[in-house]
Amino acid sequence: MIKKLTNFKEFNSFKEDLQGQYLIEASAGTGKTFNIIIIYLRMLLGLHQKKINTKPLNIDQILVVTFTDIATQNLYKKIKNSIYLLRIGCIQRISKYNVINNLIKEIKDYKNANILLLKAENNINNASIYTIHSFCQKILNLKNYEIYDLLLNKKIISDELILQRKASIIFWRTYLYDLPKEIIKIILLYWKNPDDLLKSLLPFLSQQKLPVIKYPFKNKNICVQFYKNKKYIQNIKKYWIKYKDKIINIINNSNVNKHIYNKKFIKNWINIINKWSLLETKDNFLPKELFRFSQKILINNTINQINSPKYVLFQYIDFFINKIINLKYLIIIKAIKYIKKFVLQKKKNNNEISFNDLLNILNKSLNTKFSLQIIKDIRKLFPVVLIDEFQDTDIQQYNILKKIYFNQKNNLMILIGDPKQAIYSFRGADIFTYLKASSEIKKHYTLTYNWRSSSTMINGINKLFSNRTYPFLFKNIVFNPIKYKPKKLNDYFIINNKIKPGITFWFINKTMDINSYRKKISYICAYEICQLIILGKKGKAFFQKNNKKKNINISDITVIVRNRFEAIILQKEFIKFNLPFIYLSNSNHVFE
């Protein structure tokens, strides 16, 4: 069972006595990379532990793991530059950077510190800054173990996407290309082409196990199932027409939740289903309103489940809904199985392995007769590991780190991440892996100060997310209010002599359909921007930073939209106000 998190202590990267395992939970802009660099520099100088005669670590002994090649390069450059700045600071006994001065204060032997830092500078190319996959590759390439033979003469491919794309095309041609037109019409509502299909499958293809789906999909034929679904839908329509007249009385005389099943809603739902029931059944479409009259759903929405509305029609709806198998899910399951099998066979034929295979091999090797020796060698090679962007870790990666570094007094493991980012599952991140780690690691810390944002923005964020007990739904993800640095206190956005809050919401206080709403909110957006530009030209709308003013102009403003469709609506409103408009996107949807 995962225990509930409490408020974390503030982490001081300059002073903390670093021993054992740490979890540092930090929001955006709080200096995660900055803290990694401070810890790194302290280790090079042997200042990371309070005990006497702590040995300085060599540059190749400090393992830093992050999740993209770009991030590793960025860390490498920053660490290299920081080593140089600290070395110059040691020679001059002072630096123009306060961070370096804080470290200089802790140094007792400047001559020795200079020697250690110069050695690190000269060996910077040997710095152990890796992605999780390249770390696995390095370990598996050590010739001490039999697992090395598994990699011998094998070509490592960084990404399986090319093979997956080829498999998706073949699957599309084999299973979908020659289906009847009425089925193809349905498929094209979900995916326009094989690439479209693959995009929806990628989150599942990265998982070791297939998603659990309640329907019995095994050996189901797409075409056969379509016509079965059609028959079930025709039956539902027949029973609906026959029994519908008694629905309102039965529901009104029951204890079903009348906030949900009020007269207005029921009448609207019945009208929609009535129209649908009279149409010719050409596809597998079911109106979502039909599910409101499922016997099971009605019982679940009955107060104390006493005197729930029971009726033969509700039972028929349940029966046939359970018989219908969603074609979309059926195709997804078939495609996942096909693509996984195809990629596995191609890699075998071409003598290739992927980065994900490296993880699998290392994970399995840590459970073999060689595991104790492998773990011992890794700890000796890398007595310290710093994991950046830990929220992007999946369960297999965490288990590898756990087997190597957990409960080791002589080894140090520091995990730095932001679980609020893991909920989006970017790069295969698994929020439950983060929560598992947070329940197993005793030393919990947070980074309190945001270095990036203004006081008004931080106050707005704190107010927004402190308004709920569990703002991220999970009880285990707490929101720790952040603070702003004093120098950000006077960073303001000022309109007509009034300081604007960091966040402003626009509401439309009347019900309207989604297209009318989009048009209306786009008009409001364009109007507000136009007013800002006019006020900016008059010197009445400006940014204030360090008591210096900068009048706002159009180049200071960006609008984030969900997709190209919303951008087109917005553009039409911009034209009305003679506002310049540039649409910048590499894809059609913001989440891509």
| Cβ proximity of 401 and 413 under 8 Å | yes
| Total Cβ atoms within 10 A of residue 482 | 21
In the prediction, which pLDDT does 380 show? 92
What pLDDT was estimated at residue 213?
55
| DSSP structural state of residue 4 | P
Average pLDDT over residues 358-363: 85
Whole-number pLDDT of residue 211: 54
What pLDDT sits at residue 429? 56
* Cα distance between residue 186 and residue 178, in whole Å: 14
pLDDT in tens, 377-413: 899 999 999 999 888 888 888 989 999 999 888 899 9
- Residue 146 pLDDT level (bands cut at 50, 70, 90): low
- Residue 29's pLDDT band (cuts 50, 70, 90): confident
The strand pair at 384-387 and 352-354 is best described as unpaired
DSSP 22: E
Strands (E), 432-515: 443-446, 449-450, 483-484, 492-495, 498-499
Quick: pLDDT tens for 225-263.
999 999 999 999 999 999 999 999 999 999 999 889 998
Model confidence at 480, pLDDT cuts 50, 70, 90, reads: confident
Largest CA distance in the chain: 94
- CB burial of residue 232 (10 Å; 0-12, 13-18, 19+): buried
Is pLDDT above 80 for 456?
Answer: yes
Res 231: pLDDT: 95
Instruction: State CA 309 to chain mean position distance.
Output: 42
Average pLDDT over every residue of 562-574? 90
Query: What pLDDT sits at residue 439?
Result: 87
State which fold the 161-220+327-350 domain adopts: Recbcd, chain B, domain 2 (1.10.3170)
The string of pLDDT tens digits covering residues 186-195 is 999 999 999 9
Radius of gyration of the chain (CA): 30
pLDDT the model gives residue 358: 84
312 pLDDT higher than 60: yes
Domain ranges of the chain: 9-128+382-465, 161-220+327-350, 222-323, 490-576
Whole-prediction pTM: 0.74
CATH number for region 9-128+382-465: 3.40.50.300
Interval 201-225: pLDDT, tens = 987 887 655 555 554 556 689 999 9
CA distances (Å), 4 to each of 8, 434, 474, in order?
Answer: 12, 13, 9
Q: Would you state the pLDDT for residue 219?
A: 66
